Structure 1
Amino acid sequence: MPWLCNHIGQPWKTQQVVREIATTLFKATPDGEPGNDDLGAQSSWYVLAALGIYPTTPGTPDLVVHSPLFERAVPALPNGRTIDIRAPKASADTQYVHGLRLNGQYWNRAYLPQSTVREGAQLEFTLSVQSDRRGPPSPRHRPIATVNARSWHRSPARSSWRQAARARSR
Structure 2
Amino acid sequence: MLDRLPRTTALLAGLVLAAGAVACDPEGLHSAEHAGPFPHESPSDSADVSLEEALSDYGVRLPEGAEDIAYGARKALDGYPFNAQFSMPCDGVPAFVRDNRLVAGGKKTPDDVLTDVMDAGFTPGAGPAYARAKDSKLPGIGVAVFEQPGWCRVFLGA
TM range, smaller chain: under 0.3
Greater strand percent: which structure? Answer: 2
TM-score, with structure 2 as normaliser: 0.26
Higher relative contact order (CA 8 A, sep 6+): 1
User: Which structure has the bigger radius of gyration?
Assistant: 2
